[in-house]
């Protein structure tokens, strides 16, 4: 007799009562999760700036434009972090108005060790202006 695998099953196990977390409305839960996520991303930025102080910084006035493709360098450097987490960390870092100002005031981009690695194009500066004004 073949029993389909996706067939519903009955269980005699007692269901656990809902916990306090389960009774929290979804909107409030997602807000808490977002705040925790941002805290984790900011913590990662701090760790990255400690490891690569010539490239990343938490000092707003010392931000530098990052090289194109720095994501791959960071993924290799931090194998214990997911690529998605590193991408989100970079998004938070590069959307900062002070980073956008750095794009406007510098003509070069920098790698993890603080060495010049490419230029900031006029088109990229225009995009930074638009994003900064929003």
Region 8-22: mean pLDDT is 58
pLDDT value of position 115: 97
Give the range with max mean pLDDT: 4-13, 26-35, 81-90. 81-90
Does residue 1 lie in a domain region?
A: no
What is the pLDDT, as a whole number, of residue 30? 72
What is the total count of domains within the chain? 1
The range of the structural domain enclosing residue 74 comes to 29-133
Q: Does residue 5 belong to any structural domain of this protein?
A: no
Within-domain flag for 3: no
Q: Summarize the confidence of residues 75-97 as an average pLDDT.
A: 95
DSSP designation for 66: B
The predicted structure's pLDDT at residue 19: 61
pLDDT of residue 3 exceeding 60, the answer is no
Task: Kindly give, in sequence order, each residue whose CB lies less than 8 Å from that of residue 16, ignoring residues fewer than 6 positions away.
Answer: none
Q: How far apart are CA 75 and CA 51, in angstroms?
A: 14
User: Is position 10 within any domain?
Assistant: no
Task: Name the 3-class secondary structure at 34.
Answer: helix
**pTM of the entire structure?**
0.73
- pLDDT of 2: 59
Give pLDDT tens digits for 20-64. Answer: 555 555 555 577 776 678 899 999 999 999 999 999 999 999 999
Res. 10 pLDDT band, cuts 50 70 90:
low
Where do the H-state alpha helices sit in 52-107?
A: 70-77, 83-94, 97-105
Q: Is residue 90 part of a domain?
A: yes
Q: What is the per-residue pLDDT across 103-130, written as a single tens digit (0 to 9) for each?
A: 999 999 999 999 999 999 999 999 999 9
Domain with residue 99: its CATH number is 1.10.1710.10
Tell me, yes or no, whether 56 lies in a domain.
Answer: yes
């Amino acid at each position: 007799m073949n029993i389909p695998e996706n067939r519903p099953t009955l269980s005699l196990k007692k269901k656990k009562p809902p916990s306090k977390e389960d009774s929290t409305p979804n909107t409030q839960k997602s807000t808490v999760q977002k705040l925790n996520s941002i805290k984790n991303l900011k913590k990662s930025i701090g760790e990255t700036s400690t490891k690569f102080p010539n490239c990343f910084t938490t000092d707003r006035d010392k931000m530098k434009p990052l090289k194109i493709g720095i994501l791959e360098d960071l993924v290799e450097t931090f194998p214990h972090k997911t690529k998605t987490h590193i991408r989100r960390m970079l998004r938070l870092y590069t959307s900062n108005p002070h980073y956008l100002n750095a794009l406007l005031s510098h003509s070069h981009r920098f790698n993890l060790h603080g060495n010049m690695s490419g230029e900031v194009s006029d088109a990229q500066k225009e995009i930074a202006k638009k994003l900064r004004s929003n």
